[in-house]
Chain A
Amino acid sequence: MAKVLDMMQFLDMNDTAIIKAAVQHLYLSFGSVLIGCLVAIPTGIWITGRDKIAGHVLRIIGTIQTIPSLALLGFALPLFGIGTLPAMIVLFLYSLLPILRNTYTGLTSINPAFIEAGNGMGMNSRQLLFMVKLPLAMPVIMDGIKISTVYILSWATLGALIGAGGLGDLIFTGIQTADANYILAGAVPVALLTAAAGWLLGKAEIALTPAGGK
């Protein structure tokens, strides 16, 4: 009971700090994933049908993914200093693989009969891409975006280590002061945001599935 009261008091005293950290966290995560989408989706479209290049690109992005996050932050620090920018660059790099891989998989696994049908209707390649291929691949692409977002929301806590703020700041303060309240004040909102993002993007995935494919 005393612990609960203690925590209530803690929340009461720190609510603005927690909200501020959560907003920073969302900005950091969604910003990175958004840039990730802007780079990965066009790249995924471009490598479709270019098997050799696709293999190389996926291998390089896959290798970046295996690099430990602290090491990647370590590489970013000398290049970009401390703060939001280096953290976002690292998170952006991590967000690429699931989006790129799913864009590529989604586009390459389309039933060739649909493409034939489009061709037969006299569609040019642009129309084919925007009216046939992308709508059909959309659920798979959205799934990639969901995976990226969920992971990035969790990894963004490490941004605190190079001064990018976010909910990781609270956790890190908790480590330094051995105070469970701070740790939970950072960890619980991250878990909630992750669950909410996963749920919302799952809904979006269903909504974006073409009516004929449901």
Chain B
Amino acid sequence: MFNIPLLTLQHLELSAAGVALAMVIGIPLGYIITRNRMLARAVLALIDITQTIPALALLALLLLWIGLGDVPLIAALVFYSLLPIVRNTYTGLSSVDASLIEAGKGMGMTGWQLLRMVQIPIALPVIMAGIRVAMVTAIGIAAIGVLIGAGGLGAPIWRGMQQMDNGMILSGAIPAALLAIITETVMERVEQGLTPRGLRKVVTGN
């Protein structure tokens, strides 16, 4: 009755759309705030507060404001994805060892070269970890999107709950759980692959 492969794909698309938009906003924002500590503290505190708004409530408010469908869901996903992305971009960039930046400057690198060839490669695994957390969270919230008429795997779960049809519930819940777990695993691998070779942990048991 439900086309599960199609819904799974839709679920992934919606989550990815939200996270991609959050990256477009969040990565530059995370970079900008590394230049001003006061601004950084204010921005991070503000985003922190917004995260405690329950997803159900935000979806409900967006429903009233934007209406039914995928658009309010994607708006909510952008909203919740911002925190991990901004925070990790900021942490990643600002924790680059000052001596490495000095070394780059000493080699005559311009600010842009320094960012592109030193800071971003070193911060990349941390930024990727933020994107991974955002993506897994987005997959979770996208499931609730069914309540405001969005697509994805929430539909069979929710319909099944209302009709007390366990088979229908599981036909949505199992792929949704697998989607989240597989996404987490794959992105973790990518993260490890992106760590610059010189920075990979040597297994010495500390």
- Per the bound structure, the CA–CA distance linking A67 and B181 in Å amounts to 7
CB distance from B169 to the nearest CB of A (A): 4
Q: Map CB proximity to A onto B132-174 as digits: 1 under 8 Å, 0 otherwise.
A: 0000100111111011100001100110110000100110111
Q: Contacting chain A: which of B19-27, B52-60, B193-201?
A: B52-60
A187/B139 in contact, CB under 8 A: no
A190/B57 in contact, CB under 8 A: yes
Across-interface contacts of A63 in B (CB, < 8 A): 181, 184
- Per the bound structure, the CA–CA distance linking A183 and B72 in Å amounts to 16
B143/A69 in contact, CB under 8 A: yes
- Nearest CB to that of B63 among chain A residues? A175
Task: Please tell me if A18 contacts chain B, counting CB pairs below 8 Å.
Answer: no
Task: Please tell me if A114 contacts chain B, counting CB pairs below 8 Å.
Answer: no
B157/A70 in contact, CB under 8 A: yes
Give residues 122-175 of A contacting B (CB, 8 Å). 150, 153-155, 157-158, 160-162, 168, 171-172, 174-175
Across-interface contacts of A66 in B (CB, < 8 A): 136, 140, 180-181, 184
Across-interface contacts of B172 in A (CB, < 8 A): 71, 74
Chain B interface, >50% SS class: helix
- Per the bound structure, the CA–CA distance linking A172 and B55 in Å amounts to 12
CB distance from A89 to the nearest CB of B (A): 15
A187/B61 in contact, CB under 8 A: yes
Across-interface contacts of B63 in A (CB, < 8 A): 175, 178
Across-interface contacts of B45 in A (CB, < 8 A): none
Task: Please tell me if A77 contacts chain B, counting CB pairs below 8 Å.
Answer: yes
- Nearest CB to that of B180 among chain A residues? A66
CB distance from B168 to the nearest CB of A (A): 9
A168/B56 in contact, CB under 8 A: yes
Task: Please tell me if A191 contacts chain B, counting CB pairs below 8 Å.
Answer: yes
Task: Please tell me if A195 contacts chain B, counting CB pairs below 8 Å.
Answer: yes
Across-interface contacts of A198 in B (CB, < 8 A): 52
Across-interface contacts of B177 in A (CB, < 8 A): 67-68, 71-72, 75
Given contacts A78-B170, A154-B54, contact A162 B61 (CB under 8 A): no
Across-interface contacts of A73 in B (CB, < 8 A): 157, 161
Can you list 12 contacts pairing A with B, beta carbon distance less than 8 Å?
A67-B177, A71-B153, A74-B161, A75-B173, A78-B170, A161-B158, A171-B60, A175-B59, A175-B147, A183-B57, A187-B57, A187-B60
Chain A interface (Cβ within 8 Å of chain B)?
Answer: 63, 66-75, 77-78, 150, 153-155, 157-158, 160-162, 168, 171-172, 174-175, 178, 180, 183, 186-187, 190-191, 194-195, 198
